[in-house]
Homo-oligomer: A and B are copies of this chain.
Amino acid sequence: MSPEDPAGLSLLEGLHSTPARRYLSAEPIGDDVLRVILDAAVRGPSGGNSQRWAWIVVRDTAVKRQIAEWYREGWEHSYGSRREQILASGSMSPANFRAAEHLAHHLEEAPVWVFPVLLGPARSRNPRLGSSIYGAVQQLMLAARAHGIGSTLTTLYAAHEDGVRALLNLPEDAITMALVPLGYPARGRWAQPKRRPLDEVVFQERYEERS
């Protein structure tokens, strides 16, 4: 399904051409490809190699539909209801806003969702908690990209963490760290994500205010 040879993409090229993909087709993703992607994910960092994580693969339509509703609540609260303000501020481009809006309204159409979960720390107040899973999530999204599969890291469902925990049968002390919808892109391309100039965000030795 990928137009490219997965082995033909260089590491550096991959790092520079894996934007969030928010227009995803409903075309199925094979179990074999998914397994290869997850096998790349778990090679990411885990503090003390503890691997206190679980990777929940969701394809069930009813489960996706319920969580997508919660996601849309989160979208409406954080973005949808502030549409004019966000677009006026320039913090998101109109194209990015529309793509995120599209995802919110079509989330359940993505054929596969992955929830990366940490086991144990539901009550943690450690701001660096994610250091033991988001590197692996990035590996997942990069491996997907090598196979022509798009994804994006989302957390807008999180106000309903208890509901998600129940649907996924997670223990009380587990926490879902993200929802990553996966799908073959229906629109857009593997372009380099636009970012602020490096000189605005990189500092030598000491931070300083920059206008």
A208 contacts the other chain (Cβ, under 8 Å)?
A: yes
Point out the residues of chain B lying under 8 angstroms from A168, CB to CB.
Answer: 205-207
C-alpha gap A58/B125 in the complex (Å): 28
Point out the residues of chain B lying under 8 angstroms from A55, CB to CB.
Answer: 201-203
A178 contacts the other chain (Cβ, under 8 Å)?
A: yes
Distance from A103 Cβ to chain B, minimum over Cβ atoms (Å): 13
C-alpha gap A138/B15 in the complex (Å): 10
Interface string of A170-211 (1 = CB under 8 A from B): 110011011000000000000011111010011111111100
A-side residues, CB < 8 A to B, are: 6-16, 18, 20, 35, 38-40, 42-51, 53-60, 63, 79, 91-92, 96, 117, 121, 124-125, 127-131, 133-139, 141-143, 145-146, 152-153, 155, 158, 168-171, 174-175, 177-178, 192-196, 198, 201-209
C-alpha gap A174/B11 in the complex (Å): 31
